[in-house]
Amino acid sequence: MSACNPPREFGPEDDLAPNAPKFGEAWHAQVLAMADTLVTTGQISASDWAETLGAERRVDEINNAPDTEETYYAAALRALERLLDITAIVPKPDLNDRRDTWARAYLATPHGQPVELTAGKS
Amino acid sequence: MTSGTSFDRDKLAKIHDHLHSHLPPEPALRVKALESLLVERGLVASETLDAWVDAYSEDIGPKRGAQVVARAWLDVDFKARLMDDAAKAITEFGFEGKATGDLKAVENTDSQHNVVVCTLCSCYPFSLLGLSPAWYKASAYRARVVREPRKVLEEFGVELGEDTAVRVWDSTAELRYLVVPQRPAGTEGWTQEQLAAIVTRNSMIGTDRVLKAGS
């Protein structure tokens, strides 16, 4: 009889492994920084943030999204956008307009020069 | 189809790629848009966000929790305060954080092992342990540690006897947990700094149990 060893999902950490960067992408850090700061200053409640983030995580789970940090931070961004829209702190149309303005600013700015929002204003 | 059309299409694709190569990835662009609106409306300051990122990238991490645990091992009065009201006790170190919320310390014993999860999302005592590890946020851990804690712990390398019960604590936005691991034998006479150095992050979440006195 052969031994049945199902693959492990978790494992003890390697004490000798080099320190990994805390954030994979700068925007990962910025999403958490914004959410934490808004909770700390009372603009959004900790429970609303947890509930909204939890709901977005469930969407990923239902859709069988990859169980990765990228998926987690994308859910965190969607949750923050949704919560700020619901609370009218940053309505979605405002955010979409600002996103488009930044996109135009990036495209209008030559490489190597600082990108200013005014460059995208039409 | 003529070759001229094909050439134009390739050329257009190259121009398109070139233009878009200047753009940050979509999530980064949306984050930039969100941040600029929040700053413009006076809801956050860019300096605050920069300081947060710097602090969590460099300074705030599990060494804070390890100091708390080491002090609890050495000072019975502090331990009593920690077990009674952990959120208040960590203010003695200046480690409190609004987003950490209320905090409860749960102590491992020979007969009980504690492990922490957030089944809803990823609630975690950030101001004490820093950023949560990737596996803590993963759906697999959040689902499985509740359903089959012994098996998950075994995968983490934690071997529990049958006479050791496992208690899973589910964090919320309002209440988070710190596991106080058992002090290993062979550490008599050690200073707080020496003791803190052997307390692992996972032992304070509960996915590590037996700490080693020697490295």
Q: What is the pLDDT along chain B (215 residues), one digit of tens a residue?
A: 444 455 566 666 665 555 555 799 999 999 999 999 999 999 999 999 999 999 999 889 999 999 999 999 999 999 999 999 999 999 999 998 765 668 999 999 999 999 999 999 999 999 999 999 999 999 999 999 999 999 999 999 999 999 999 999 999 988 999 999 999 999 999 999 999 999 999 999 999 999 998 75
Does the CB of A11 have a partner CB in chain B at under 8 Å?
yes
The CA distances from residue B148 to A68, B84, B103, B111, B122, in Å, are 21, 29, 25, 18, 19
What is the spatial distance between Cα B161 and Cα A102, in angstroms, rounded to a whole number? 58
pLDDT of residue B3: 46
Contacts of B28 in chain A (CB under 8 A): 25-27
Is there a single domain that holds both residue A28 and residue A42? yes
**Interface probe, candidates A8, A57, A77, chain B, greatest B C-beta count within 10 A:** A57
Which two tokens mark B168?
């899973």
Looking at the structure, tell me whether residues A52 and A63 fall in a common domain: yes
Q: A122 lies in which domain range?
A: 91-122
The answer on A80 and A55 residing in a single domain is: yes
Domain co-membership, A41 together with A75: yes
In sequence order, the 6+-apart residues with CB closer than 8 A to the CB of B50 are none
Other C-beta atoms closer than 10 Å to the C-beta of A4 total: 5
Q: Which region, left, alpha or beta, applies to residue B170 given φ > 0 means left and ψ of -120 to 50 means alpha? A: beta
The residue among B62, B164, B75 whose CA lies nearest residue B112 is B164
Residues A41 and A96 in one domain: no
Q: How many domains does chain A divide into?
A: 2
Active site residue B132: no
Residue ranges and CATH numbers for the domains of chain B are 3-44 (no CATH), 61-205 (3.90.330.10)
Each residue's pLDDT tens digit, B165-182: 999 999 998 899 999 999
Which of these is catalytic: B123, B127, B171, B203?
Answer: B123
- Check if the beta carbon of residue B102 is closer than 8 Å to that of residue B175: yes
- Put simply, the answer to whether A60 touches B134 (Cβ < 8 Å) is no
In a domain, A53, yes or no: yes
The C-alpha of A122 sits at a distance from chain B's nearest C-alpha, in angstroms, of: 16
Which residue on chain A is closest to B154 by alpha carbon? A11
| ipTM of model | 0.90
A20-76 residue pLDDT tens: 778 889 999 999 999 999 999 999 999 999 999 999 999 999 999 999 999 999 999
Report the gap between the CA of A1 and the closest CA in chain B (Å). 22
Are A84 and B140 a contacting pair at CB < 8 A? no
Query: What is the least distance, in Å, from the CA of A103 to any CA of chain B?
Result: 7
